[in-house]
Each structure stands twice: as C-alpha cells, then as structure tokens.
C-alpha cells in the first residue's frame, strides 16, 4: 500500500514512502476533544461503542451456543481462533502483531479502523483545517464518502457466506447498503448529493458482484445460492438502461454457468463504479425505477415450476421498493395506502418456504395502482 506520510502543510507533501501504518485502536479516537465528546459532531466514538452492534457484539457472537454448534459441524475447535469466523466477526485478528499499536484490541469487533483504515498516518492531522478531504484520503483515511468504496468496505461480510457455513447452520447474508446504513446508529453526516436510491443501487450492484464471485469459486452448485444470484440479476436487469450510464447487465444469461458468473461479476463492478460517481440520481429517476419494478407482477405467476426463484425475487424486490419509495418521499410523500401496501408486500415476502406468488402478484398490482394515482 503506497501511503504517504503527511507531516508538512497540505499540498507540500513528501514523496518518501513510509512503513505500513499501525492500527492504534479505538481508544485513540475516544478523547472528549475528539470523537468521545458530548456534542453531535464529537460523539462518534460514543455512538459506536454504546449503541452500534458492530462494537464488541460480533466478537461476542463467536462465544454463543449457536456459534459453537456451527463450529462443531465444521470441526472447528474454537470459532474465535479460526479465520472462517474471525474474518468478519473479529477482523482485527488478521492484523499482524508488528502493526498493532498499544491501544489495539481484537475484542473491539468491527472497529473504527476496520472501516476507516489504520490510523497512524492520519490520526493526528486529519482534523487540521487546512487539509481537504483529498489530503486525508491521501494520508490513508478510507474515502467512505465514495459510495463504491463504502459498499466495498461492507459487502463481503454482509453478503458472502460460504456454502460450508450455510450448510452448518450459519444465517444467509443479505447486503442492502442504504437500508442497513439507515438501521445503524448514525455517527456520520450523509452527503446531500447522495440519495437513498443511489446508495441502494450501488449496494445492490456490489452485492451482485460478490454473489457472482462466490458462485464462480464454490466447489459445488447450490440451488438456493443460484436462485439468490438469479433474483438479484433479474432485479438489476429490470433497471438496465434506466439511464445511459447505468447499463451492462441486460444481455447476461441467468443460466448457472461459470462464464455467466464472470460476466456478471465484471459488469456489476462497472455498474457500481458508475452509479457511485454519477449525479443522475434525482427524484424523477427514482420514480422511473419504482414504476419499472412495480410492473413485474405478472412474472411472479408466469412460471409455476420456478422453484424458490419467485420468492427470492420478491425478497430483493421489496427491499428495492422500500428504498425507492423513500427516495420519492423526499419530494412527494407517499400516501398512507402506498405505505400500507408495501408493508403487506414485506409480510408476503418474509418466508421463502411459505411464499405464494399469486398473492404477492396481487398485492404488487395494488401497490402499482396506488403509485400511479399519486402526483
């Protein structure tokens, strides 16, 4: 990693490379004058440590009875010491001893530096008023304002669970950047240029890339995982060409073949990059996306031999409708009827084994009609 140590005024940077930076630990962010204070712009450490499930809870999960059962099924003696578990639940465990500062602790869980990067080269200077955001990023602070970078920071652990772990009883992953960010206790200020629709779309493209990557590497086929991949590909293909900048998935076959996984992986990555940097996400585009997706009711009853694919499509679709409706509400609040019908769609999609395509299609048609009658 070619980071630069910025010890002199901004834009007069040394070109000498420095050693790979140390992780200093969350306490390095916790003073009351920094992110451990009481003000809304200084309480980030307190929000994370006291309210955010990323703090300590992921590590603690490895000591639960359920984790021990999953570990036993895979002949893992200690889930807290096996990379199949710690990669996501205790990511700091992978930091070499030589890069651990005095305040470092694996027990922090998904910590400040897990998301923002090792702090040694930027910690003391990142509050300087003469530094721009670009200066901070050059010093090694991860650029989470970039939605592509943000999605990449989160998607692997939230989306990718190996078939071996799934077979042993691990819950499925499901990544949705906007909704999951909204559910997290907020310790950041969202850019005014980013809409719910844009954040959602970037996250879904990144999720498709990860699913495609996983399927290309699993040692065997799995009908459930393939159905999830096909469902997400279907969802994003419905929006292909919504804007000339958002293309690339339309001609990818949903057939479960290695070449299709590779094509989807490449196209989804390009799509995530384009959507993250585009300024096209306005209220009108979000409404167009919403209308396209609500027009899919007939597809849920067209094939009675599709296995669990319709349920998996519904699973992804209701999340999309939720975020797109929220984006539209920023300009024109939805009627209570639209919100009620969306709640009904969520209920119908919450169980894959009990999914009834005809009932879902009927509810989706009602939802579409309500939207059509809104301004």
Does 351 map to a domain? no
Domain holding 31, by residue range, is 19-143
C-alpha–C-alpha distance, residues 306 and 227, integer Å: 9
Q: Of all residues in the chain, what percent carry a pLDDT higher than 70?
A: 93
The 8-class DSSP code of residue 246 comes to S
Q: What is the pLDDT of residues 5-48, one digit of tens each?
A: 222 233 333 334 457 899 999 999 999 888 998 777 789 999 99
Assess contact for 337 and 253: CB atoms under 8 A.
no
The structural domain count of the chain equals 1
Confidence of residue 343 (pLDDT cuts 50, 70, 90): very high
Does 179 map to a domain? no
Say if residue 286's pLDDT is above 60: yes
Please state, rounded to an integer, the average pLDDT across all residues of the chain: 90
> What is the reported pTM?
0.91
Does 62 map to a domain? yes
Q: What is the pLDDT of residues 139-187, one digit of tens each?
A: 999 999 999 999 999 999 999 999 999 999 999 999 999 999 999 998 8
Q: What is the pLDDT of residues 308-329, one digit of tens each?
A: 999 999 999 999 999 999 887 7
Does 114 map to a domain? yes
C-alpha–C-alpha distance, residues 368 and 291, integer Å: 7
Does 180 map to a domain? no
Does 35 map to a domain? yes
pLDDT at 11: 31
Q: What is the pLDDT of residues 242-259, one digit of tens each?
A: 999 899 999 999 999 999
pLDDT at 373: 82
pLDDT at 18: 56
Assess contact for 290 and 325: CB atoms under 8 A.
yes
Number of Cβ atoms within 10 Å of the Cβ of 5: 18
Does 52 map to a domain? yes
Helical residues (DSSP H) of the chain, grouped into ranges: 44-51, 57-61, 65-73, 83-89, 112-116, 133-138, 147-159, 163-167, 177-183, 196-217, 223-238, 258-277, 283-294, 309-329, 336-349, 357-372
Distance of CA 191 to the CA centre of its chain: 17
Does 281 map to a domain? no
C-alpha–C-alpha distance, residues 232 and 244, integer Å: 20
Mean pLDDT check: name the lowest of 69-73, 84-88, 266-270, 283-287.
283-287
């Amino acid at each position: 990693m070619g980071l630069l140590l910025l010890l002199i005024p901004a834009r007069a940077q040394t070109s000498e490379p420095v050693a790979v930076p140390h992780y200093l630990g969350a306490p390095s962010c916790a003073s009351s004058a920094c992110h451990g204070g009481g003000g809304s712009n200084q309480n980030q450490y307190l929000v994370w440590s006291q309210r955010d499930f990323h703090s300590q809870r992921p590590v603690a999960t490895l000591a639960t009875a359920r984790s021990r059962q999953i570990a036993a099924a895979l002949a893992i003696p200690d889930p807290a010491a096996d990379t199949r578990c710690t990669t996501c639940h205790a990511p700091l465990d992978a930091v070499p001893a030589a890069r651990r500062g005095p305040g470092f602790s694996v027990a922090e869980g998904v910590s400040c530096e897990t998301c923002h990067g090792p702090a040694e080269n930027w910690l003391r200077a990142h509050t300087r008023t003469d530094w721009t955001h670009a200066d901070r990023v050059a010093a090694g602070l991860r650029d989470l304002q970039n939605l592509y970078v943000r999605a990449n920071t989160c998607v692997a652990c939230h989306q990718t669970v190996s078939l071996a772990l799934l077979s042993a009883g691990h819950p499925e992953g499901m990544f949705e950047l906007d909704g999951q960010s909204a559910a997290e206790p907020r310790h950041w200020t969202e850019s005014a240029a980013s809409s719910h629709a844009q954040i959602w779309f970037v996250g879904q493209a990144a999720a498709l890339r990860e699913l495609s990557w996983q399927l290309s590497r699993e040692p065997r086929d799995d009908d459930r995982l393939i159905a999830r991949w096909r469902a997400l590909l279907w969802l994003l293909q419905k929006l292909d060409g919504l804007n000339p900048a958002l293309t690339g998935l339309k001609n990818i076959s949903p057939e479960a073949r290695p070449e299709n996984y590779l094509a989807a992986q490449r196209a989804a990555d390009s799509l995530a990059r384009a959507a993250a940097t585009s300024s096209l996400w306005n209220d009108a585009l979000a409404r167009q996306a919403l209308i396209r997706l609500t027009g899919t009711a007939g597809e849920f009853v067209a094939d009675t031999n599709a296995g669990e694919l319709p349920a998996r499509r519904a699973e992804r679709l209701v999340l999309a409708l939720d975020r797109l409706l929220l984006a539209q509400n920023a300009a024109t609040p939805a009627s209570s009827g639209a919100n009620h019908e969306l709640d009904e769609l969520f209920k119908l999609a919450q169980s894959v084994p009990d999914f009834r395509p005809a009932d879902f299609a009927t509810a989706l048609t009602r939802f579409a009609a309500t939207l059509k009658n809104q301004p």
